[in-house]
Amino acid sequence: MSHQMTPYLLVGAALFCVGIFGVLTRRNAIGVLMCIELMLNAANLNLIAFNRFLGPAGNTLTDGAVPTNYYGPLLGGHAFGIIVITVAAAEAAIGLAIIITVYKNAKTINVDEINWMKW
Amino acid sequence: MPPTTTQDIIFLALAFVTLASGIAVVLLRNLVHAGLMLGLSFFGVAGLYLLLHAEFLAVAQVLIYVGAITVLILFAIMLTRQVVGADTAPVSTQRLVGFATALAVFLVLVRFMYRREWPGIFDNTEVLNAPTVLGRQLLTTYLIPFEVASILLLVALVVAIVLAKEETVVSLTPKLNTIYEETDSPAKEEEK
């Protein structure tokens, strides 16, 4: 089971949908942010699973012969995962800064009470 | 069907921990508890990364998500002081809609997962010493994404400081008013 791709994709999909449910139902802005982090994690899990099971040039090592300039199979999924983690960190920092500023102004962070931009 | 191995049991346990604490994040009324559950969920995902032979990402996940983001979120919860109560509970009227949407997305994803024929599935366990390989590739093949990520972090750092600084947004309107009053008052005096 841990040597197949679909179990990992299933876990990722389930985690993503849990995040969607949370984003749609949480009233607290910080709760919404937490659920977005869950969704980013689910996407990241998918990227890593794809890289392991579908990665380019992954099976060049099976014959045992290793070229001299061989850097190993391309780890594009891992690089993408690092980008996603970076984006998540930036998003958390900026999102929480915005939430704290909104709280200073409105004394609430309920997303259904913050509707200043709605006309 | 291959026999169940130790790795399978570990995978099942990690998947259960990840999903259960994820659901707890969504449903718990107390936001601090939800934040702690979020950290547990991140730990589960880090374990899954280890199973997928992504050692560097697993460590980075623990350092950044569990160590930094969870603590940041807990600090923000304490700063805004809306920990318990009806305010933090999910809206009951939106629950049905939210559940239906999540279920629909899940069904679509699962359908794609099983209908699509993946090109050349193999078990890529031969990636030995993956952090070394990843480090080399981050500075050769994936150099531009790496640099873009570092610039993004720098910009986010500056923006977060500017946003959260005292009296930037809070006193913006009063400051503008005083400026207008100052510029208006000499003109009014001249009219008199």
What string of pLDDT tens digits covers the 192 residues of chain B? 566 788 889 999 999 999 999 999 998 888 889 999 999 999 999 999 998 888 899 999 999 999 999 999 998 888 886 555 555 555 667 788 889 999 999 999 998 888 767 766 665 555 556 788 888 888 888 899 999 999 999 999 999 888 877 654 454 455 555 555 555 545 445 554
DSSP alpha helix (H) spans, chain B:
6-27, 31-51, 55-60, 70-80, 92-115, 130-138, 143-164, 172-191
pLDDT of amino acid A62: 47
- Asked if A66 has any chain B CB less than 8 Å from its own CB, the reply is no
Q: Tell me the C-alpha distance between B70 and B57, whole Å.
A: 17
Find out whether B41 and B69 touch, Cβ atoms under 8 Å. no
Are B41 and A38 inside 8 Å of each other by CB? Answer: yes
Comparing alpha-carbon positions, the chain B residue that sits nearest to A17 is B102
pTM for this model (two decimals): 0.81
Select the residue of A10, A81, A109 nearest B57 (Cβ to Cβ).
A81
Are A75 and B133 inside 8 Å of each other by CB? Answer: yes
Give me the interface pTM, i.e. the ipTM.
0.84
Are A92 and B69 inside 8 Å of each other by CB? Answer: yes
Distance of CA B35 to the CA centre of its chain: 12
Are B121 and A94 inside 8 Å of each other by CB? Answer: no
Neighbour count for residue B41 (Cβ, 10 Å) = 29
Q: How far is B177 from chain A (nearest CA, A)?
A: 17
- Assign A59 a pLDDT band (cuts: 50, 70, 90): very low
pLDDT of amino acid A53: 80
When mean pLDDT is compared across A62-66, A87-91, B32-36, B120-124, the lowest value belongs to A62-66
Largest CA distance in chain B: 96
pLDDT of amino acid A58: 44
Residues of A in contact with B56 (CB under 8 A): 78
